[in-house]
Amino acid sequence: MMPLTFATVGEENIIKKVGGNSETRKFLENLGFVSGSVVTLITKNGGNVIVNIKDSRVAISQEMANKIMI
């Protein structure tokens, strides 16, 4: 397992675990970041990452992305 921030751009990955406190996990869950979901890293832009999840593009902070394990 590794954090989402280490993913290769354009490669599909499966989320293994979402970490952080309960508030953070709930926030990410509402965006679609749940175990078993397919996520693709689109780009890393400064302190943010843009990912494709469930046919939507979502921008999250690098700190949040580090809590998502693939």
**Tens of pLDDT, residues 33-65:** 999 999 999 999 888 999 999 999 999 999 999
Quick one: DSSP state of residue 30? H
Place of tokens 């580090």: 66
* Residue 5 region by backbone torsions, left for phi larger than 0, else alpha for psi between -120 and 50, else beta: alpha
Quick one: DSSP state of residue 8? P
Q: Considering the chain, what is the average pLDDT of its residues?
A: 94
- pTM of the entire structure? 0.90
Strands (DSSP E) along 16-64, which ranges?
Answer: 17-18, 38-45, 48-53, 56-61
